[in-house]
Structure formats: C-alpha cells, structure tokens
C-alpha cells in the first residue's frame, strides 16, 4: 500500500463524522466522504460482490481520481473497504481513471487508466494492480501494460484512450478500451493477452458514426441470452426523438461478435436509461450466472447541492439491476430488496383526485398497476405539496410517459446550460391495457421501472419532507398501489 493510499484512508477516518447526512441514501452505495463517480472493477470475488469507484475523498468535487472500494453480499447493504488505488506514479500522476477487475489464480487484478497531464499534453495508458487478499493492492512494476506501443499505426490518440474492461474467453484474456478517431468518432479497441501483463492489439471492435457522439467512455462487453451486448457512454450524442437528451448518455449495442476478426455486428441499438442521472454503467456476472449492472447515479455538466451546501459528499450508485435480452433490447430488473408490502385499491374518475398520504418515506417501494383501458391521460404526483411535486404523466394514445422534476426542491445549476429536468419515454403497450410502474425511492433519488423492463433514473433534493401521492385522470382509472418501506 502506498503513502498516498494511507493518507487517503487516514483522512477518511478522521473526517467521516463531519459529513452532513441530510440527503444521504439508505440503500444506495455512496462514498463515506467526498466525491464519487464511475463504478469500476465490479466483480464477484471470494463469495462477495466487490465494487470499486472513481473517488476523490478530500472534497465533494471531482479531483485527482483514486479508487474507492466497497463489498456486499446482497448488492443492497455495503461495507466500506480501504481505498484501493491512489495516483502516485509517473504514469498515473493525475489520476487512476476508470477500469475493471478480474480474478485469476486466487488473486484479484485491477486494470485501470493512468492519466497524466503535463504542459497541456494529456496521456492515458492502461495499468495493472494486484491483490492477494482483495483489500490491499500493489501496482505492477512494469506498468503501463498498454500504451503508445500497442497504438502504433492506429487511428487512435493517446490523449483519449481509457476505461479498460477485461474479461476471459476460451482461455484467452481480452480487454476493450475506449478511444476515438482523428475525426472525433468513438471507437472501441480490442487487445488480447495470455498472462494479463503482455498485451497486443487484436482489432477495432466497433467504430461509431457522427450520430454516436464525439467520444465513447466506460465500455463493457458481455454475452447474454444468445446475444453479444456492448454498452458504453457517449459524450455529446445528438438527441434522437426523445432518446439521448442528456449531454452525456448511455448506449447499448445488441448483436454478435465475429471472434475470428474481432468485429462487432450491430443488430440493434438503444438508450439504456431514459432518465436524468445515469452514466458509466458496468456489469459483472453473479455466482448464479445472472448479469448485474450498476451505474453512477448522477450526471456531468451541473453542480450538486450537496457540494454547494458544504455537505462533504457528492454522488452515489444506482440500485444494481439484473439484465436480460428480449427482442434485441436490454431488459432491466432491480435486484431483490426486502419488502413488507401492503396494497390499496385505486379507483379514480375524471371529477376527482385521489390522495394517498404518508406513503413515500425516505426509502420506499411503490408499485402502480393501472387499468388504462377507460382513460387517455394519467397524472401521478409524487412527494406532492401545495407548491410542487415530482410528476409522472402518461398519454395513453401516444404511449409516452413523462417524468418532470422542474421547480422541485433545491435548484440544479447547469455548468454550461440549464440542466435537463424533464424526460420522455415511448412505451409499447400494444398487447396490454395495463400500465405498470415500479418505483424505488431513496432519500434523494428515484428509480422507475416500466412495462417491459424500461428504466428511468433521477436525483432530487427536497426542501421539505412530503410523503403524499396524488393520482388523477380524465376518464376512469382502476388498479392497485403496493407500497413498502425499504430497510
């Protein structure tokens, strides 16, 4: 363990009790103190899930990146472990950027991007660290393991070359790394190795088009339900109808990899999450074979109230989600949480509003099952007060669901433009007269899962604690509301 890792752990221990708990979550992973972003090194290792993350412990702002570390047995309750990596070498002096993990011969290996900026020149290389106990890591003495040497002759810039995701296939180690071309197109480069230490370039797995943004980040490649899936986070991807409205988005390519040539044949592509605060997703395979995804539950290009108010922390992870592929689309299902559900009937007509009081506690679960065959509009107001609410509306004719946090709680200040506060999702309920909405609410976040496994994620910061829900419609609405606290 290096001196900078020791200093980070000492700072955390001495200052963690100063953190203001007012907006902190109950069942979402946060750093104990400081700034958190991209999930890294998500892996099931020695009987527990380990999740590392981009971390700057000293402020609630982004800074020289460390790797924080936590583990869990159920993906809901997390134990903080010592900081795993700190920037302390010539090849990672300005940050240990995002990466991944792999277990090999009873050891845990981390592969990450070493980031250096000197005299206005940026260099990003891929580096290796190893642990025999899963807690304390030593950097490989011959780092970097992938650098300008492997990029020779390629249309790839060492200044934008990051976020390695490592995996094993048929006895061979592979690593995909995000890069971009000289024409500012995102691309994923594929490397291979026999021993995790000596790597050669294999292929350009996939190159994007102008419609896919200017740079790809945080790629992940896996096989699921008979299809290959490549997920990544494009910067400045243009909107497409209601999709990709965030300045930074998430994208899934579904198709097939030709492993003889190392090329990805795309059969479908779509946005992963239709919300406001979801970025840099990464997956791992659980011991039961299920593919689990987690993402940073925040977004770039805006300030965070927990920073502005001096709360000494910023950012969190989403609730992990089980993935499947159906009709060439990712289907997302939240991992199980312990519930004690109760159910109430919903009967609403156009001449009244139904109000449910005291149901939306700090950490709770809601499930609306609504028969929409006799109405054309549904409006659900969450955390409703006389002045504001988080609004969900559904237009039955167009099958468009809208989430709106405008003017709710503390303002979110954009760094480059006004922050996005409203998103729309096009559903496909052609075979159903039921609208099903599942909601996982934590202190300052909401994750919404809709018919067909579509997801929408957003953060918010309440000024006053309101637990009421109202429902209204322009026709007749019947159904049930299931609710439970989450412990």
- Would you name the residues annotated as active-site residues? 38
Catalogue the E-assigned strands of 119-198: 121-131, 138-139, 161-169, 172-180, 186-193
Give me the residue label for tokens 């499930």: 367
Contacts 24+ apart (CB under 8 A), 87-92: 87/4, 87/115, 88/2, 88/3, 88/4, 88/5, 89/114, 89/139, 89/143, 90/116, 91/116, 91/125, 91/127, 91/143, 91/144, 92/116, 92/127, 92/143
User: Which is nearest to 229 in space by CA: 206, 209, 196, 208?
Assistant: 206
H or E stretch at 150 = helix 148-151
Contact predicate 299/246, CB 8 Å: yes
Coil, strand, or helix at residue 445? strand
Exposure on the CB side of residue 318, measured as CA atoms within 13 A: 36
d(CA 426, CA 352): 27
Q: Are 423 and 275 in contact (CB under 8 A)?
A: yes
Length reported for the chain: 487
Under DSSP, the state recorded for 420 is P
| 3 state SS of 5 | helix
Question: Any bridge partners for residue 206, and if so which?
Answer: 188
How far is the C-alpha of 205 from the C-alpha of 395, rounded, in Å? 40
Measured at the CA of 105, the angle between CA 100 and CA 106, to 5 degrees, comes to 80
Helix, coil or strand: residue 242: coil
The set of long-range contacts for 105-109, using a CB threshold of 8 Å and a minimum separation of 24, is: 106/132, 107/131, 107/132, 108/43, 108/45, 108/50, 108/132, 108/134, 108/137, 109/166, 109/196
Beta-carbon count within 10 A of 203 CB: 18
Asked if the peptide bond before residue 379 counts as cis, ω within 30 degrees of 0, the response is no
User: Got the DSSP string for 102-127?
Assistant: EEETTEEEEEEEEEEEETTEEEEEEE
CA proximity to 329, closest of 456, 188, 454: 454
């Amino acid at each position: 363990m290096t001196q900078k890792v020791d200093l980070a752990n000492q700072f955390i221990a001495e200052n963690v009790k100063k953190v203001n708990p007012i907006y902190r979550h109950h069942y979402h992973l946060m750093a104990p103190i400081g700034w958190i972003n991209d999930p890294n090194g998500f892996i099931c290792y020695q009987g527990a899930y380990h999740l590392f993350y981009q971390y700057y412990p000293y402020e609630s702002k982004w800074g020289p990146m460390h790797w924080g570390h936590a583990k869990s047995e159920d993906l809901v309750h997390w134990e903080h472990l010592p900081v795993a990596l700190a920037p302390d070498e010539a090849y990672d002096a300005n940050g240990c950027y995002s990466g991944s993990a792999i277990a090999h011969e009873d050891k845990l290996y981390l592969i990450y991007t070493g980031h250096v900026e000197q005299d206005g020149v940026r260099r990003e290389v891929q580096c290796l660290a190893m642990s025999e106990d899963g807690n304390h890591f030593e950097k490989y003495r011959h780092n970097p393991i992938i650098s300008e040497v492997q990029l020779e002759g390629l249309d790839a810039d060492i200044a934008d070359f990051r976020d390695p995701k490592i995996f094993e296939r048929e006895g061979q180690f592979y690593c995909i790394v995000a890069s971009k071309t000289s024409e500012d197109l995102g691309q994923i480069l594929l490397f291979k190795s026999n021993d995790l230490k000596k790597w050669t370039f294999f292929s350009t797995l996939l190159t994007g088009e102008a419609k896919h943004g200017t740079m790809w980040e945080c790629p992940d490649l896996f096989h699921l339900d008979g299809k290959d899936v490549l997920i990544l986070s494009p910067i400045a991807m243009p909107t497409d109808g209601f999709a990709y409205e965030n300045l930074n988005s998430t994208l899934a390519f579904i198709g097939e990899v030709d492993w003889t040539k190392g090329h990805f044949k795309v059969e479908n592509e779509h946005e992963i999450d239709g919300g406001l605060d979801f970025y840099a997703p990464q997956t791992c395979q659980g011991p039961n074979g299920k593919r689990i995804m987690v993402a940073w539950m925040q977004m770039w290009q805006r300030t965070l109230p927990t920073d502005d108010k001096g709360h000494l922390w910023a950012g969190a992870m989403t609730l992990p989600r089980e993935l499947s592929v159906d009709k060439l689309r990712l289907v997302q299902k939240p991992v199980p949480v312990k519930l004690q559900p109760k159910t109430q009937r919903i009967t609403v007509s156009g001449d009244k509003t139904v109000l449910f009081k005291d149901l939306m506690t700090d950490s709770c679960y809601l499930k609306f099952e609504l028969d929409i065959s006799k109405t054309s509009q549904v409006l659900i107001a969450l955390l409703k007060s006389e002045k504001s609410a988080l609004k969900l509306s559904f237009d039955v004719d167009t099958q468009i669901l809208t989430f709106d946090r405008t003017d709710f709680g503390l303002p979110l200040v954009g760094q480059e433009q006004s922050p996005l506060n409203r998103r729309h999702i096009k559903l496909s309920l052609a075979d159903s007269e039921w609208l099903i909405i599942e909601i996982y609410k934590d202190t300052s976040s909401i994750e919404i899962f809709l018919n067909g496994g579509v997801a929408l994620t957003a953060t918010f910061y309440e000024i006053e604690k309101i637990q009421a829900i109202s429902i209204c419609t322009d026709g007749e609405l019947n159904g049930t509301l299931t609710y439970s606290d989450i412990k």
